[in-house]
Structure 1
Amino acid sequence: MSRRQRLIGLAKSTRDNYIPKITGSVTSLASGASKAFTNPREVYDEEGKVVLPKDTRIKLYPTYTRKLENKYYIDVAGWVSAPGAMNRKNRVMMSVIKQLMKRNSQDTEQQLQNQNAFLPVHQVHHKEIESDNESVHSAASDQSTSSIPGSPNSDAIINERLADFFAKSIPNTEIKITIGSESQHEKVINEELITDGYGYFHTTIEVDYKPSVIFASSMVTETIFAAQNVMIVPTKGLGVISDIDDTVKLTGVVGDKRVLLRNLLLQDFEAWKIPSIVKWYIDLSKRQDISFFYVSNSPWQLFPSISEYFNLVGLPKGSIHLKRYLGSIISSLLEPSSSRKRTMLHKILRDFPEKKFVCIGDSGEYDLEAYVDLAKSYPNRILSIYIRYVENSLSLEDDRRILKELLRLLAKKRTAEVTSNDKEQEDASNAQDIDLIDLSDSPVCSPTDSTSPKKKPPMKPKKPKNLQSNSIDNTPDLMSPLSSAISSQSPSVSVPPSSNVSSDGNSMIDEYRPPLPPRRSRTTPKNGDDYEPGSIYESLGFIELEDRDKKGAEWIRRVTTAIADLKNTNTQIHIFMDSDDQFFESSCNKLDEDVRVK
């Protein structure tokens, strides 16, 4: 074919194949846009308000109420949404999540089969029966094969726990908040607000009567409403600020993210339980005027699971503060904790200026830095920072070795504080015993009185160096290698071995001493940390550890920096393990002591 014929064939193909498709797409897009703009009643009513779906719901989250100067301040937080359909986007997301968990689940199933292979048949059968009768949530437990992604039971569990992630938020809709009163004769307060772009709302309402209930209703459809009891928190006493993931429930933030997803979306709630922590919290809750604030980096879409877990294990009631979900399921679940907690932590301490607090977190994320920042911002308000040790979170080589070093650093800091306090008390006691002004009636002794102390003679002035003669000391210095060498070669020669300076002004002893090892100090602190010269960062051991185990070195740096930042805050740091019964007992005793001091 000639060039002209090829061009004609290409033009015909374009005319017959591509132009009709493009034209049809543009026409359908234009008709759809025209339909959307010509039928506004599908989204908005005549007054411009958002038309809510029939199954729209309002969720109210647990918040706190405080009393200041005969007024009550009620925090109100919630979310307006509607159940989402399993559209193409949600189906793709569900498939991705299952694929992420699939490999880990296959490994777990293979391990279970290998374990059963070494058991007698009757034991395997007995084990299966026990697994089936384990609990009402046995379909999601580790020992049940129905927890494998793809099985009907596991799909139902995943769909239930992801329901709020697939839900459709209702933005820019009007909500009316009514604060009920314990007295029927009071005129209740109402406040109107609009949800944000993600369907959330949060406000603080001030009333001059004792509130009883929070009632939220839609101003578009009156049949859409929600109610919640008011939780009044004492303005004085002690507050416990606690993380949730890997602090009061096993989540698995550290390690394989597939395990994290499986724990969140498939595992039985009973498997989340940390018995020693739950018992500790229950013991703490028995103290008078103590309140709990749970602040986590988990999204609000996980609140139903968290609430069910709290009720199952009996954790103390308290306000719960999570983060907003911004539309990406995987990034929201796997996103590390950062500064999202900071705003809520500071708000709690501002709202309760007369409270003292203890902060509890874990080593899996950055709870230590968040709580240290809080203690620095509010000196003498944070009594203690407790960090739960999470397995494999401290080191790439040896977790227990780094944990031992961290505990040594913290114990050294506490010992130094006790010594400093004892010295200050001793100095204060000695200062009280000294009479700076003599107010006694005894007569003043005259200078000629024999009982008066004699005046000391004036100090003898020192002779200038240029007028001093060089004295020769013939006493041999046995510690000097130079003197021993000379004495062995020519005993009759007298040399000033103890003199450090020769006739030409240079050092004699330093020439024969072995050179010191080079100091490998870091001139620029890492990550902007500020430390003093001679600190642990300049030691050879730390630099070698940093070259071999960056994670362990980073934890030593974090704890050392935290100790320096808390120097003048009266805040103590404790790292504890789940099996440390002595710690739980001593922490409760310390809390009782703080209450008595207050």
Structure 2
Amino acid sequence: MDPSLAADGSSWGANVPYGRRQRIYNMVKHTKDSYFNAAKNSLKNYYGNDMSPAEARALEFQMFPPKLLCYPSYSRKLSDSIYVTELRGLIYSTGQRSKRNSILLSICKQFLRNDPPPNVEQRLESLQNDSNISLDSSSTTSSSTSSGQLSMGDGVAPLTQEQVLRQRIAGFMNKHLPNVNLLTTLYNGSNDKMDQITVSDNSGGFNILLSTEFKPAGAKVKCLETGLVQDCQIFYVENSGVGLISDIDDTIKHTGIVGDKRSIFLNVFVNGFEQWKIQDMPLWYTTLKDSKAVDFFYVSNAPAQIYPILSEYIGENYPLGPMFLKQYSGNLLSSIMKSSAQRKLASILKICNDFPNKKFILVGDSGEQDLEAYVSAASQFPKQIIGIYIRCCKNSMSDESENDVRVMKALNDHIKKFYLDQIKEEDDIPDLIQFDSDSDSDVAPAKTDKKQPVKKKPPQVLKKKPVLSDALQREISESKSSGTQPPLPPRKPTRLKMRSMDNAVYSIPSSQNDYGTYSEFFDKKAESWNERVKVAVKKLKENDVKASFMFFNDPILCLEDSINKIDSL
């Protein structure tokens, strides 16, 4: 539909001279200190308060053209002749100014200072999303300038920290467009195609399943109200082989979820790709992709608003694959720091359910609840999960960072002793019934009159009670009658040593005298991991899960272990 036409097909605002109408339109579009709602109301009053919803939407799209964003998803074969493809994305607009976004940008810029105000975090957290006001971005998520690096080569001026910040928070400042008619299309190289109309939801998102009788080679989405078309990246995934489902934050990129809020903010919205990289993680993933044809899925609690920069980072360092992120709602910091294992688990379970004949490796980190989510997934799909690898983030394993490695080794020792070794023994148990030629014979074994010799027990030697001298007996009697005992020497506080995972990570107080130093030396994080791993091991064994299970800080060890696991299938 032409935005300049009214619902009855006549020219919108035909009773107003063209030059005057155009001047009003340009004034509203380029005025920087007016809000969209105020401008729309003014125009409605100017034209007699009889603007229909369709006319209002057409005017909005004229002033602020919508944009489409498609998230990479997958296509799979459902039966011999049916293919199922999921298309997911977002329709939004940029360029609309609001007081909220001005405040948001101002607060975010204060994080760039070496000494930000003490209440800046509280101010940012208190700035909630308001769907009743329009949102603004001075730059869009589809910017052609890379925000992954703070400096650019080949004569291009380096980006300042503020420029990078503006680009990366743009997704949080856009206005999501609900109830927009969209045309989705799947096609292949043989001129086969299938169209289906859908409508964006209240948050501007769309998620649709399409069934075709041909294997799709590509997809696109079209906004029917403006004609805007966006290509969608889809990955065809076989229902066999091995897939790797990976977290993103602190698993394949450094975020520092367990750090302070300012560090997290700078890592996400300012730091370049070089500061995001985690050594040898790209080597692990690319080796599995190249040598074992492993399919990759990225499931994270990272907000979908930073998808463009995450997609750029993954494309430069890791194998591409479908990506599942959470939709931001509420304040900016909470969308990054607050994780939900259930939200992540739902996407993992869907992937496992869509590919019942595929084996999966799960890779996460110790900064969130990845362990519980992955163990739950393995318990529900015990025959499909073949590996669980948890990367140990700095300051996440112990109350003292120098003990992180010791705690990690203690956890792995417990996993090996009470899980890996036991499932290996189960696989090595021989058959109890031997089907040889003698076992089928009806002839009973010959009896023998020989008796087995009985071993004689050595004679017991009674221990004599020690005889005390008269002087020693008198001394003991006097000490008992005195009624007083000498005081115990004072106990010096000493560092409690790490113990085996069989009991606890650190020693538990054994007497009342120990409780004076209990709170000072007891490692709460380590003890928490102790209990979490015990629960995880118990749950994996109860559900007959036979998977590799490891905490790591060296991805090369996981590379070797995962390849051995794949080769053993």
TM norm structure 1: 0.67
- The amino acid that maps onto 2:560 is E
- Contact 1:84–1:168, Cα closer than 8 Å, also in 2: no
Deviation at 1:276, TM superposition (A): 0.3
- The amino acid that maps onto 1:162 is I
Residue matched to 2:562: 587
Residue pairs, 1:238-387, within 5 angstroms: 238-313=242-317, 315-387=318-390
- The amino acid that maps onto 1:589 is N
Query: For 2:187, what is the secondary structure of its paired residue?
Result: strand
Any idea what the Cα deviations from partners look like across 1:351-409, whole Å, max 9, x if unmatched? 00110000011111111111100000111210010111111111112222212211211
**Cα pair distance change 1:546/1:44, threshold 3 Å:** farther
**Cα pair distance change 1:217/1:36, threshold 3 Å:** farther
- The amino acid that maps onto 1:164 is G
Match of 1:94 among 91, 97, 105: 105
**Cα pair distance change 1:73/1:155, threshold 3 Å:** same
Query: For 1:231, what is the secondary structure of its paired residue?
Result: strand
Residue pairs, 1:41-440, within 5 angstroms: 41=51, 43-45=53-55, 52-53=61-62, 54-69=64-79, 70-103=81-114, 139=150, 153-184=160-191, 186=192, 188-221=193-226, 223-313=227-317, 315-397=318-400, 398-413=403-418, 414-422=420-428, 424-425=429-430, 428=431, 431-432=434-435, 437-439=440-442
Unmatched 5+ residue regions in structure 1?
A: 1-27, 107-134, 446-450, 457-472, 478-482, 491-534
Inter-partner Cα distance in structure 2 for 1:83 and 1:287: 43
Indicate the structure with greater helix content. Answer: 1
- Contact 2:149–2:272, Cα closer than 8 Å, also in 1: yes
Deviation at 1:419, TM superposition (A): 3.2
Any idea what the Cα deviations from partners look like across 1:248-280, whole Å, max 9, x if unmatched? 111111211110100111111222112300111
Inter-partner Cα distance in structure 1 for 2:549 and 2:46: 60
**Cα pair distance change 1:555/1:308, threshold 3 Å:** same
Any idea what the Cα deviations from partners look like across 1:480-501, whole Å, max 9, x if unmatched? xxx635x5589xxxxxxxxxxx
Inter-partner Cα distance in structure 2 for 1:163 and 1:434: 78
Inter-partner Cα distance in structure 2 for 1:378 and 1:87: 48
Query: For 2:507, what is the secondary structure of its paired residue?
Result: helix
Deviation at 1:546, TM superposition (A): 10
1:575 pairs with 2:551:
yes
Query: For 2:243, what is the secondary structure of its paired residue?
Result: strand
Inter-partner Cα distance in structure 1 for 2:59 and 2:244: 41
Inter-partner Cα distance in structure 2 for 1:378 and 1:40: 58
Residue matched to 1:484: 465
Quote the RMSD (CA, aligned, Å): 3.6
**Cα pair distance change 1:137/1:437, threshold 3 Å:** closer
Inter-partner Cα distance in structure 1 for 2:312 and 2:465: 82
What percent of counterpart residues are identical? 30
- The amino acid that maps onto 2:268 is L
Deviation at 1:572, TM superposition (A): 2.5
Query: For 2:197, what is the secondary structure of its paired residue?
Result: strand
Inter-partner Cα distance in structure 1 for 2:46 and 2:551: 59
**Cα pair distance change 1:165/1:36, threshold 3 Å:** farther
Say which one has the larger Rg. 1
**Cα pair distance change 1:38/1:454, threshold 3 Å:** farther
Query: For 1:296, what is the secondary structure of its paired residue?
Result: strand
Inter-partner Cα distance in structure 2 for 1:324 and 1:358: 25
Deviation at 1:182, TM superposition (A): 2.1
- The amino acid that maps onto 1:219 is L
Deviation at 1:73, TM superposition (A): 0.6
- Contact 2:110–2:116, Cα closer than 8 Å, also in 1: no
Aligned residues: 448
Deviation at 1:61, TM superposition (A): 0.8
- Contact 2:505–2:527, Cα closer than 8 Å, also in 1: no
**Cα pair distance change 1:538/1:254, threshold 3 Å:** closer
Residue matched to 2:497: none
Inter-partner Cα distance in structure 2 for 1:197 and 1:37: 28
Any idea what the Cα deviations from partners look like across 1:531-557, whole Å, max 9, x if unmatched? xxxx94689835769972211110111
Inter-partner Cα distance in structure 2 for 1:165 and 1:540: 44
Inter-partner Cα distance in structure 1 for 2:327 and 2:395: 29
- Contact 1:65–1:75, Cα closer than 8 Å, also in 2: yes
- Contact 1:545–1:552, Cα closer than 8 Å, also in 2: no
- The amino acid that maps onto 1:383 is I
Deviation at 1:58, TM superposition (A): 1.1
Deviation at 1:416, TM superposition (A): 2.9
Query: For 2:545, what is the secondary structure of its paired residue?
Result: coil
1:541 pairs with 2:490:
no
Inter-partner Cα distance in structure 2 for 1:548 and 1:300: 39
